């Protein structure tokens, strides 16, 4: 049974231009190359934003982490809010450059310092390489807060898809290690639960387009180094495995109604609310995975309005979208 009849008609051209691929070990190199080629289609960064690349200390015994750093040219001299952005790609592909326009927009609108690391990917590096790289970026932002001009009390973490799942896992790790804190987590159709990949009862209305459960199974197996659904998966790999979500920062979660991750996202939001975490939850009708890549659709523009307003509230900055 197909879910195509449920897709927002304004998003159908997006589906036609973005063919669904079941990613596996054989075609992963081609998928990565296709992603890199797509960087040439990105719009230029606004002239009001400054971007620089740095290499920061990685986890003990691991390579340095490449990060992209975005700031507003005429930004405030005093401490500014900051955003740690973790890119998507199923834990197996992607790069921080792909969301460069979004990072520059945050820097411009919120006068924020935005840091986007190129964390290590699976299967070349399995868990915990990705989350430890993200933790190293968190540590660097706090350690270099004065030189970066950021306020360590106002650092938000955010990401899309695998980046959203990694953001959630990192928020758990930061909570449990107790060295730093996030003021806000913004999870955009986050990849939270490896068990989705082995569910027999998942409705065919979820995950038909863009990111399928075939790709999902490969992504999780690559990250975990074992089959998804195994009994000993760490919550710092799959945040839905956490026994408690208490003490996490206020959370914004959004997903599309046709996304493979819809049910796990709704369940994570429910658990957060049940444990006293403030949650803002959005589910957009007719929207498959990654739908907001097409800003011609009204549902995508609605998402952007909600997401920018949610980030502004999370950072404690004034914003009129």
Alpha helix (H) residue ranges in 199-238: 213-224
Q: Which residue has the higher pLDDT, 177 or 46?
A: 177
Structural domain of residue 67, as residue ranges? 4-315
Residue 25 lies in a domain: yes
The answer to the question of residue 320 being in a domain is no
d(CA 61, CA 74): 38
Q: Is 2 assigned a catalytic role?
A: no
Domain of residue 293, CATH code: 3.40.50.1820
Lowest mean pLDDT among 40-44, 263-267, 310-314: 40-44
- C-alpha 104/C-alpha 50 separation (Å) is 8
pLDDT band at 41 (very low <50, low <70, confident <90, very high): confident
Q: Is-contact 189 265, C-beta < 8 A? A: yes
Please indicate, yes or no, if residue 117 is contained in any of the structural domains. yes
In tens, the pLDDT along 216-240 reads 999 999 999 999 999 999 999 999 9
Reported as a single tens digit per residue, the pLDDT across 247-257 is 999 999 999 99
The answer to whether residues 303 and 254 touch, using CB atoms and an 8 Å cutoff, is yes
Catalytic residue among 8, 151, 194, 259: 259
Report yes or no on 296 lying in a domain: yes
Residue 239 lies in a domain: yes
Q: Mind listing the pLDDT tens digit for each residue in 102-141?
A: 999 999 999 999 999 999 999 999 999 999 999 999 999 9
User: Tokens at residue 18, please?
Assistant: 């973005």
Q: Which of 161, 167, 215, 300 is catalytic?
A: 161
Predicted local distance difference test score (pLDDT) of residue 138: 98
How high is the pLDDT of residue 92? Answer: 98
- 321, pLDDT greater than 90: no
Average pLDDT of the chain, as a whole number: 96
- What confidence category does residue 319 fall into, taking pLDDT thresholds of 50, 70 and 90? confident
In a domain, 125, yes or no: yes
pLDDT at 259: 98
Residues in the chain: 321
Cα separation, 33 vs 41, whole angstroms: 14
Which whole-number Å values give the CA distances from 91 to 19, 28, 62, 211, in the listed order? 20, 12, 18, 12
d(CA 297, CA 21): 23
pLDDT over threshold 80, residue 206: yes
Give DSSP secondary structure letters for 125-138: S-TTHHHHHHHHHH
Write down the pLDDT at residue 59: 97
Decide if 202 contacts 263 (C-beta within 8 A).
yes
> What residue spans of the chain are helical by DSSP H?
12-17, 28-38, 100-110, 129-143, 145-148, 162-177, 213-224, 262-274, 298-315
- Terminal Cα distance for the chain, rounded: 39
| The total number of structural domains that make up the chain | 1
Query: Domain for residue 249, yes or no?
Result: yes
Q: Is 44 part of any domain?
A: yes
64 is catalytic: no
Q: Would you call 161 a catalytic residue per the annotation?
A: yes
Q: Would you state the pLDDT for residue 222?
A: 98
Q: Which of 85, 289, 294, 300 is catalytic?
A: 289
Model confidence band, residue 275 (pLDDT cutoffs 50, 70, 90): very high
């Amino acid at each position: 049974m197909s879910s195509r009849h449920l897709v927002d008609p304004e998003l159908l051209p997006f589906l036609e231009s973005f063919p669904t691929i079941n990613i596996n070990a054989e075609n992963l190199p081609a998928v990565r190359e296709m992603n890199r080629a797509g960087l040439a289609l990105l719009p230029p960064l606004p002239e009001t934003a400054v971007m620089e690349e740095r290499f920061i200390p990685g986890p003990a015994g691991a390579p340095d982490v490449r990060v992209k750093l975005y700031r507003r040219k005429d930004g405030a001299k005093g401490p500014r809010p900051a955003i740690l952005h973790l890119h998507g790609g199923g834990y197996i592909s992607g790069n921080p450059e792909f969301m460069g326009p979004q990072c520059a927009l945050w820097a411009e609108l919120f006068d924020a310092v935005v840091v986007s690391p190129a964390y290590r990917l699976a299967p070349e590096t399995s868990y915990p390489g990705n989350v430890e790289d993200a933790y190293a970026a968190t540590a660097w932002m706090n350690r270099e807060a004065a030189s970066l001009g950021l306020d360590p009390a106002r650092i938000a973490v955010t990401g899309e898809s695998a980046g959203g799942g990694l953001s959630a896992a990192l928020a758990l790790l930061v909570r449990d290690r107790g060295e730093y804190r996030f003021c806000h987590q913004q999870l955009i159709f986050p990849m939270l639960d490896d068990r989705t990949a082995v569910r027999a009862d998942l409705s065919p209305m979820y995950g038909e387009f863009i990111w399928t459960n075939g790709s999902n199974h490969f992504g999780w197996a690559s990250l975990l180094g074992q089959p998804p659904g195994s009994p000993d998966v760490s919550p710092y790999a799959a945040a839905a495995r956490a026994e408690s979500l208490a003490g996490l920062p206020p959370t914004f979660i959004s997903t599309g109604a046709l996304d493979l991750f819809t049910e796990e996202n709704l369940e994570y939001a429910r658990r957060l609310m049940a444990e006293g975490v403030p949650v803002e939850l959005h589910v957009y009708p007719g929207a498959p995975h990654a739908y907001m890549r097409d800003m011609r659709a009204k549902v995508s523009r609605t998402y952007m309005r909600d997401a920018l307003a949610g980030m502004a509230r999370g950072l404690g900055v004034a914003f009129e979208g």
